[in-house]
Structure 1
Amino acid sequence: MPKPSTHAHPSPTHKHDIRVAIYLRVSLDPELDGLTIDRHREACLQIAQQRKWTVVETYVDQSISATDKSKVRPSYDRMVQDYASGAFEAIICWDLDRLTRQPRQLEDWIEAAEERGLLLVTANGEADLSTDGGRMYARIKAAVARAEVERKGARQSAGQAQRAAQGRAPKGMRPLGYTTSGSVIAHEAAAVKAIYEAFARGCSIRSIAAALSGEQDDSTPAGVPALPRHDRTVALERNERRVTENRSLPPQKQKRIRDVPADRAWPPSTVLGILRNPRYAGYSTYTPKDLPASHDGGSKRRSWRASILMDDAGSPVLGQWEALIAEGPWWDVQNKLDDPERITNRVGTDRKHLGAGLYRCGHINPNTQEECGLPVRTHSGRYRCAGHIVRSLIPVDRFVVHAIMHKLSMREFSDILAQEETPRLQAISATIDQHRGRLARAQHDYDSELIEARDLKRIRTREENAIAALAAERSQLQARNSVGSVLNAPDPSQAFAGADLATRRQVIDWLTTVTLLPYPRGRKAFDESTVRLDWRSV
């Protein structure tokens, strides 16, 4: 708290000249109806009237805890500044722990009482901070309140940990696709699966959020349904429950029906949270409050790893709910999200054009006679490879799409996809699970101080490299699932034409390599010979 000079604002000469501030706070006001605040305000105003003090300001912090020192209390902070500037000489609050639960903050007010004669009055009696007895009372009360908060937090944490260890659904806001008890909500579960499938085949998080919001364009992922925002759905469900509960309650005990948020667009951050949630893979989760920041390499992007609860053997604890996403595909999504190139936001899954990062540059180095081969980028309606080629993307894409559709109309591909290596996929998943088990055991041994940090690092490097190689192979095999939705269709050509951008890109990548050659100067008509299609042998 600011320390103003002790002589800048002299104390009043008469007790009736006291200017007083009222501070009101409740830690939790689930109804947000202000009734608790109003009761406290009335009691504090009555004290001010009895003492004939002048109320100059009322400061209110609603549904804000004073226990967590990291929590911002705007009105409290404003009151501190106003007192430092001499706006009042006394404070009235409902109880001392309404003002603060932080011993450090209490000491600031004690110092203010000693140096400037601050008067502090509570509805349950005057806390005279100018006397040693009053200060002792305040400190004891603050210590007791702090201890009770810590005991309550410990009980809650123990209960949460116990639920997680038993694989029971955690309390709190339900995730999309599940009820609060862990039962599956069919239409929401279908949306969750569609979100994972769209991201796995290359759709961006932003485009998935747009699809959930009902937006439609060429990049909209196929299969992702439009849904009301989840916070709106949960708010409507809560109000429906309260209407039912209120029917059996007297008027004075009925719960308030809250306002429902407008059905706005889905934010990409919500989609990312769905993709990151281990519960969808069936993992039980619990994150201790005292988890060291360095437990997961200090990366906030990967903090979800630490929330997967492990048993004594170092294996993930499975929940008592139905997993919506198989473990293998879920981990593939995590690896894709963790890709350093994607994290830079310079490259990755957010593609708006058919050939961005897919078509190759065919410029020939005159000295080495080697082809560039780098993926092209898009800029201002053109495909570019710096210093090599600049091509208008519309005629190039039109030519490529026409060639792919013609290819798809010429032959049957289902026999090729029938050779899908299902046994290999199963073997890869089993092997990856073995490597993850070794990682978990190594972490468990490190936490139990059985191995050193260098041993953990060595094991992590070895196992994560093996997992990455297997995951890349599995991703290539699983990519055929999206390709198969086109190639196995009754009319593959039309299925390709109607597919979303990510699926069309995967079909192109599976069928051919597209190379853009430098365009002859001065030629206006599109020259098909400047786009080379190297078809795969199928």
Structure 2
Amino acid sequence: MNMSSTTPRKAAIYLRISLDREMDGLAIERQREQCETLAAYRQWEVVETYVDQSKSATDRTKVRPAYDQMVADYKAGAFDAIICYDLDRLTRQPRQLEDWIDASVFRGLALVTANGDADLSTDGGRVYARIKAAIARGEMERKGARQSAAQLQRAKQGRAPKGMRPFGYTVNGDVIPDEAEAVRAIYRLFTGTDRRESLRSLARGLSGTELIDGLKPRPKHSYVVSVERANRRLAEGKDPRPTKPNGEWSPSTVLGILRNPRYAQMSTYTPKKAQPDGGRRRTWRAQILRDDAGEPIRGQWDAIVDDETWWRAQSILDDTERITNTSGSTKRKHLGSGLYRCGICGAKVTGAPRGYRCAQHVERDDDGTVVVPSLMRSGAQIDSFVIGLIAERLRRPDALRKESLTDQNTATSGVAAAISEQRARILRAQHDYDEEIIEGRDLKRIRDAAEDRIAQLEAERRLSGQAAELAPVLGADDPSEAFLNASLAVQRRVIDALVTVKLLPQPRGKKGFNPDSVVIEWR
């Protein structure tokens, strides 16, 4: 820094506070006053002041708009000096600090702090800045570890996590009746057996822009929470903060409700290290906290939906073939799209304008040019053939009836206990192996047998979960007639529950439908 230059430096002032609870700006103003005093002492011209209020510099994934603008303006040559109250106001990231040090060393940037602790124009100042940044980083990591341990402890105890309350619950986990009813309606309409509402249509129903039976319009949840906070501040004699604007519900908010295991009374916890780059959340399912036997830890709050409803919603959301379009309809146009399988490679076929095709492989000529897809079948005759077989099967005395559905529902609770027993068996065998009571081959034998049994039990649980969906057909007095008159969605579920349909290529040179080209594997 050349203090003898007759041309004063052009300086930028950067002000930041991590959390301004009162939002009165007083903390920022105190920083501003001292930074401007230092600029006047150094006879620098302040060309811009950048302010990030209630913005953290600890988390590198957090966006600091004013900071990002300051970086861009510096690169554009808008100023050649930066003043901040303290170095940790500018950054808590050692990588960012090194960028500013490089700018100081190689481009002549002057960076000073109002508290006099840092001056990057000197080698001593740079050493001090690096040490301070490393210490601040260490303190942040220790604080994060303490907070994570406390959050994990709360989750293991089944206590409600801190933070913004979810729709349907208070902060301490008490159920809010009217909101809970809306949550149940969302799950019921999304997992319906006859007609399913999409995320977009549910959002429109909550917003009141579309009328949906059983779902009442409501104010946006973020707006309700901000009003509650403002009212609490008023009750405490404080000035209320600005409330967030009310508006239309978004499909992503509805998705968050459907994905949240807390509605099924499951405790959740996600370590920060488990989050991928960008801070995006993992799936809600991965956040379920489990005990030593692998079972979900139950929260100290009442469930709004039962386990089967929640898992059924996850199954629908996980379906990669699920249609999500702007019309709000999730109904398919083809009976076997995403359901039938290619008889060559086993992949699920997709709907084509006139039938079905497998996009996993194609036939090519000698030079590699695509000639024709290996599987391209017309759909009408195949669908009629499959529907006829299913209807005929449902006319038989041994077809699934009401009694079997009742038995499945009765056995559901026993399946979960049996799965827990098998997982406990694996843990006991692992313990015996660690204590050198059994050999490694014994551990493998016990574990393989238990895992096979768990797989069988999980299949039974899935089938019992399908019972409610299949009840309109399989529980009818005449299942065959009910199947023939059912909607496309219900017919698909019945087919999926009873058979695997594989399509083989149509034999070349033969016209007309060949039943042998459709392989039916009964479950």
Q: TM-score, normalised by structure 1?
A: 0.66
Q: Which residue of 1 aligns with 2:297?
A: 317
2:174 aligned to 174, 183, 198, which one? 183
CA distance in 1 between counterparts of 2:28 and 2:106 reads 31
For residues 179 and 423 of structure 2, the distance between their equivalents in structure 1, rounded to whole angstroms, comes to 30
Is contact 2:405–2:475 with CA below 8 Å preserved after alignment?
no
Q: Following the alignment from structure 1 to structure 2, what is the Cα–Cα distance between the partners of residues 201 and 69?
A: 42
Tell me what 1:3 maps to: none
Q: Which moved more, 1:114-123 or 1:148-157?
A: 114-123
Correspondent of 2:230 among 236, 242, 248: 242
Alpha-carbon distance in 1 for matches of 2:339, 2:152: 50
- Contact 2:15-2:50 within 8 A present in 1 as well: yes
Q: 1:506 aligns with which of 493, 496, 505?
A: 493
Residue in structure 1 matched with residue 364 of structure 2 by the alignment: none
Q: Which moved more, 1:113-122 or 1:174-183?
A: 113-122
Return the offset for 1:67.
1.7
Counterpart of 1:305, as a letter, is A
Residues 223 and 121 from structure 1, CA distance in 2 versus in 1: closer, same or farther, beyond 3 angstroms? same
Which residue does the alignment assign to 1:149?
Answer: 140
Cα distance between partner residues in 2 of 1:165 and 1:35:
40
Residue correspondence of structure 1 range 250-269 to structure 2 within 5 A = 253-267=238-252
Partner of 2:467: 480
1:69 and 1:455 mapped to 2: Cα distance? 48
Is the Cα–Cα contact under 8 Å of residues 435 and 466 in structure 1 kept in the other structure? yes
Aligned CA RMSD, in angstroms, stands at 5.8
State yes or no: 1:212 paired with 2:202. yes
Q: Does 1:305 align with 2:286?
A: yes
Name the aligned partner's letter for residue 202 of structure 2.
L
Give the deviation of 1:245 after TM superposition.
3.1
1:453-477 Cα offsets, whole Å, 9 max, x none, are: 9999998776555433322233334
1:100 aligns with 2:91: yes
- How far the C-alpha of 1:181 sits from its partner, in A, is 1.4
Secondary structure class of the residue paired with 2:46? strand
Asked if the contact 2:430–2:443 (Cα under 8 Å) also holds between the matched residues in 1, the reply is yes
Displacement, 1:112? Answer: 4.6
- Alignment match, 1:4: none
**Alignment pair present for 1:285 and 2:268:** yes
Unaligned 5+ runs, structure 2? 359-372
Change (3 A) 1:183 1:39: same
Give the letter aligned to residue 435 of structure 1. Answer: Q
Deviation at 1:170, TM superposition (A): 0.5
2:142 aligned with 1:159: no
Task: Give the drift of 1:75.
Answer: 4.1
Aligned-partner SS, 1:91: strand
SS in structure 2 of the partner of residue 170 of structure 1: coil
Residues 489 and 432 of structure 1, relative CA distance in 2, 3 Å threshold: same
Residue 378 of structure 1 corresponds to 351
Q: Distance in 2 between matches of 1:447 and 1:62?
A: 54
Is the 1:22–1:57 contact (alpha carbons within 8 Å) kept by the matching residues of 2?
Answer: yes
Question: Are the aligned partners of 2:412 and 2:461 in contact in 1 as well (CA < 8 Å)?
Answer: yes
Superposition map of 1:54-73 within 5 A: 54-73=45-64
The answer for the alignment partner of 2:8 in structure 1 is: 17
CA distance in 2: counterparts of 1:146 and 1:358, whole angstroms: 50
Cα deviation, 1:132-175, whole Å, max 9, x if unaligned, reads: 66456545544554444334323322322232232110011223
Partner of 1:366: none
The match for 2:215 is: 225
**CA distance in 1: counterparts of 2:180 and 2:296, whole angstroms:** 22
**2:418: which partner in 1?**
431
Kept in 2, the 8 Å contact 1:17–1:53? The answer is yes
Counterpart CA distance in 2 for 1:499 and 1:224 is 22
Question: 1:491-520: CA deviations, max 9, x gaps?
Answer: 9999989987533543576799999999xx
User: What aligned pairs does 1:325-474 form with structure 2 within 5 A after superposition?
Assistant: 325-327=305-307, 330=310, 342-343=319-320, 352-353=332-333, 355-357=335-337, 377-380=350-353, 382=355, 416=403, 420-437=407-424, 463=450, 465-474=452-461
Deviation string for 1:352-394 (max 9, x for gaps)?
2361348879x9xxxxxxxx99987423375668778765769
Equivalent residue pairs, number = 484
Q: Residues of 2 paired with 1:309 and 1:496: CA distance?
A: 40
Give the gaps of 5 or more residues in structure 1.
1-9, 294-298, 364-371
